Amino acid sequence: MDTVIRRTRGSFAAGPMECRDALGRTDEIRTACRPLWVACIAILGRQAAYRQYIAREMTMNPACKLAFIIALFLVCSPGHAHFSLDINIRTVHVVHTAKGLEVYLRLPTPLFLADFVDLAENAYGGDIPDPAPFTYNRIEDGELLHYMDLDAIRQMPFHFASFAARGQVFAVDGEPLKAEIVDVGLHPVLEQPPFASLEEARRAMEEDVFPYDYSEVHAGATVTDLLIRYPHDGPVDTYTFHSTFYPGLEGQSDTANLILDHFPGNARLYSVTGLLNEPVTIRNSEWSAVFLFIRQGIVHILEGLDHVLFILCLTLGATGLVGLLWRVTGFTLGHTATLVLGFLGHVPGGAWFIPAVETVIALTIIYAASMILVSSRYGADSVTSHAVTAGIGLVHGLGFSFVLHELLSRDSPHLLKSLVSFNVGVEIGQVLIVVAVWILLLILARFGSAVLTPARWMVALPCMAVASYWAVERVLLLGDTLAL
């Protein structure tokens, strides 16, 4: 399991996108490492607690049988009398909203339950822990084992969650925010769903509180997922996070805490080791969001080949500077309107809509390229042409809004500034393309139409070919979508 943990931590350090790509293979890694899991379980001497896992894994995976046999020959050590940390990673996704924070949290169950164990004398002699909330104890082969009370957790999931939530403290200006528990889940370590990305965390919270067929499960072999809302009067840019738990578990000081702050446009990772008893400060600012969304707008249009080809053809088809300015203005007004409307959801929501828009965008490139070929004969800078360009801007704005949905949600903080900033970034990227192409045209114009006209055609024809390929490809995708 140590190999898996190292790969997980390394992926996070690479950044959110790399993290999502690498950790999307969590199921494959978990399957490959099942024999190692069983061997580790046997070596740790907790065979009784993991009897269900071992029996099932040896039946389903022959490699597990060999690993178990080897482990028994290697060592047979006594079990721990108290809770144990069999997995030692806490993952926290912090989502910023217009009215506070939304937190997706996964932590080892012993990390909070052990904090509620009382010591009491009993018939076995000495100090023996009484059951923690939502657990029960059993002596097996002289070994005290802690099991989760699954029936009680299913009946009172939010009460169970409250024990975990009370130790997670998010504060603004030194004032703790009130926690509102939204959802909870309990998972055996071997069955835990992926939780590396925000999308995976959200999918994990869609499951039932304990969607497994185990009759009992050892407390140390589980993780607990929480979705907690922390309301605030407005957006939270800077906050602190710490835990009040001190469970007294072996290895607790080595707990790896991965805090992913999903501030709009700028998800960042904070890695901290230990129990998080000392507050960790997360700082953001609304102006940093402004600059980040400007950058995202520039990057999107420069990396979006279909938008680049359209603006390239749009510029090449202009017969003069005035006509070019009218074209760019019409396109800007069009895509600004639909970017906002599309992002706010005032467009069709069917699965067919996105491939339909992408198909039309490909057709607009073919139209703009064809206008290069006829511009010298039919006056491509007419009022009608400008109106058509503005209409085309409406289509491209919808394409921009699809991308913006991946960066921003409608309940994100500083929504208006983020929207405006992204659009400004798109305009900056657009102007960069137009200026670069226009300067090149001015240079070619010095050599006369004998050079300029063929140069325009040499750009227009490949653009038409590429866009035609995209159009066919996207029409087929649209057909498949409509057939579902």
55 part of a folded domain: no
- Please indicate, yes or no, whether residues 176 and 272 belong to a single structural domain of this protein: yes
Task: Tell me which residue of 304, 302, 326 sits closest to 315, measured CA to CA.
Answer: 326
- Please indicate, yes or no, whether residues 200 and 312 belong to a single structural domain of this protein: no
* pTM of structure: 0.66
- Please indicate, yes or no, whether residues 407 and 445 belong to a single structural domain of this protein: yes
Parallel, antiparallel, or unpaired: how do β-strands 89-97 and 256-263 relate? Answer: parallel
Given 243, 262, 284, which residue is the final one in a domain? 284
448 part of a folded domain: yes
What's the Cα-to-Cα distance from 141 to each of 161, 395, 460, rounded to whole Å?
A: 32, 71, 81
- Please indicate, yes or no, whether residues 267 and 377 belong to a single structural domain of this protein: no
- Please indicate, yes or no, whether residues 292 and 152 belong to a single structural domain of this protein: no
413 part of a folded domain: yes
- Please indicate, yes or no, whether residues 272 and 304 belong to a single structural domain of this protein: no
| pLDDT of the chain, 484 residues: tens digit per residue | 332 222 222 222 333 333 333 333 334 434 444 444 444 444 443 444 444 444 444 444 544 444 444 444 333 333 333 567 777 899 999 999 989 999 999 999 999 998 887 544 444 455 566 788 999 988 888 888 889 999 999 999 999 999 999 999 999 999 999 999 999 999 999 899 999 999 999 999 999 999 999 999 999 899 999 999 999 999 999 999 999 999 888 888 889 999 999 998 778 899 999 999 999 999 988 787 788 889 889 998 998 899 999 999 999 888 788 888 888 888 999 999 999 998 888 888 888 999 999 999 999 999 999 988 876 544 455 667 778 888 999 999 999 888 888 777 777 877 888 889 999 999 999 999 999 999 999 999 898 888 888 998 999 999 999 999 999 999 999 999 888 7
- Please indicate, yes or no, whether residues 269 and 302 belong to a single structural domain of this protein: no
Q: 143: phi > 0 → left, psi -120 to 50 → alpha, else beta; which?
A: beta
Domain extent at residue 431 = 288-483
21 part of a folded domain: no
- Please indicate, yes or no, whether residues 240 and 315 belong to a single structural domain of this protein: no
Per-residue burial over 308-333, b if 16 or more Cβ lie within 10 Å, else e, is bbbbbbbbbbbeeeebbebbbebbbe
Amino acid at 161: A
Given 284, 314, 334, which residue is the final one in a domain? 284
Residues 6+ apart with CB under 8 A from 435: none
- Please indicate, yes or no, whether residues 280 and 339 belong to a single structural domain of this protein: no
- Please indicate, yes or no, whether residues 265 and 333 belong to a single structural domain of this protein: no
Q: Which residues pair with 256 in a beta bridge?
A: 89, 273
12 part of a folded domain: no
51 part of a folded domain: no
Number of domains the chain is built from: 2
User: Please, is 221 exposed, middle or buried when counting C-beta atoms within 10 Å of its C-beta (0-12, 13-18, 19+)?
Assistant: buried
Task: Tell me which residue of 88, 69, 79 sits closest to 49, measured CA to CA.
Answer: 79
